[in-house]
Amino acid sequence: MKLLAGNSNPALARDIASYLEIPLTSASVRRFADEEIFVEIHENVRGEDVFVIQSTGAPANDNLMELLICIDALRRASAKRITAVLPYFGYARQDRKPGPRTPISAKLVANLITVAGANRVLSVDLHAGQIQGFFDIPTDNLYAAPVMSADIESRFPQHRGRLMVVSPDVGGVVRARALARRLDNAPLSIVDKRRERPGESEVMNIIGDVKGRFCVLVDDIVDSAGTLCNAAKALMEAGAEGVVAYVSHGVLSGGAVARVEGSLLTELVVTDSIAACEAVAGAAKIRRLPIAPLVGEAMRRISDEASVSSLFD
């Protein structure tokens, strides 16, 4: 078993290597003067089970290209099996045609990874479960819910019995219900929102009685943070005692960090699937949860041909 890290999230790659007690494979991933990406692996990987750790967040195209070239280099070096480990799978929100003459980019990216030579894919909280079907190779989708539920129980024991899990939209109900089940079957509420254009949403109604409840908003991706901040405001106006948000992937682009800092959210908790920019690292209301043990254990089980799904039993 060997681990190869791209440049998208070196801190997470080091944490995974530390958990597995395996050193990262020596390699150079660099750019020529014209920004072409070049990969050179400095160790023998012939016949090895190799895991390439690379999130495809911003800059999404550069990180995706790095991943593809790493996979191609390993394939040409005769690696026995190549697993693409994508803690965050970019382009996942483009999983369907929202209108005429538009692409399904998530499927295109899946095709690129497969054709490059990957034998397997491992990701965390895909935006839509059906993206697993976009790949023609085995795909494992890990869930951050166990990590989140453990953190909620340890951080907010004083609110036990008053917790309410809230989905910021109808599409996230399955995810919210899974977390609620882990929190002693906490009640569930849904925010009814309308999105007129990308990056902008308006809360229309709160489905469920949140008065006197400590609300936990749960989502898979926070980008502009407009939805979460608007939902937090609506929940507080409906009588909620407090609102925290737990999100798997902190994209946090543009003015999202400032928006969170000025919102009614008590705290925004994201995993470290995406490397933290300077603004995120210095934000008072944003905290990061480590997922290296979760991803590392899944990688170990894949290498040992053991069950991955039993991680969530």
pLDDT, tens digit (0-9, with 9 covering 90-100), for 113-128: 999 999 999 999 999 8
Is residue 226 marked as binding?
Answer: yes
Q: Which of 107, 193, 211, 233 is catalytic?
A: 193
Looking up tokens 């040409």 gives: 76
pTM here? 0.91
The CATH number assigned to the domain with range 145-289 reads 3.40.50.2020
Distance CA 292, CA 280 (A): 19
Q: Which long-range contacts (CB under 8 A, 24 or more apart) does 278-284 make?
A: 279/252, 280/250, 280/252, 283/257
* Sign of the dihedral defined by the CA atoms of residues 54, 55, 58, 62, in that order: positive
At the top level of CATH, the class of 2-143+293-312 is alpha beta
Active site residue 193: yes
Q: Residue 194: its pLDDT value, please? A: 67
Phi, psi of 133, rounded to the nearest 5 degrees: -75, -10
Distance CA 309, CA 313 (A): 7
Phi, psi of 109, rounded to the nearest 5 degrees: -65, -40
Q: Do 2-143+293-312 and 145-289 share a fold? A: yes
Pick out the chain residues at pLDDT < 70.
194-204, 313
Residue ranges of the domains in the chain? 2-143+293-312, 145-289
Is residue 282 marked as binding?
Answer: no
Is residue 227 marked as binding?
Answer: yes
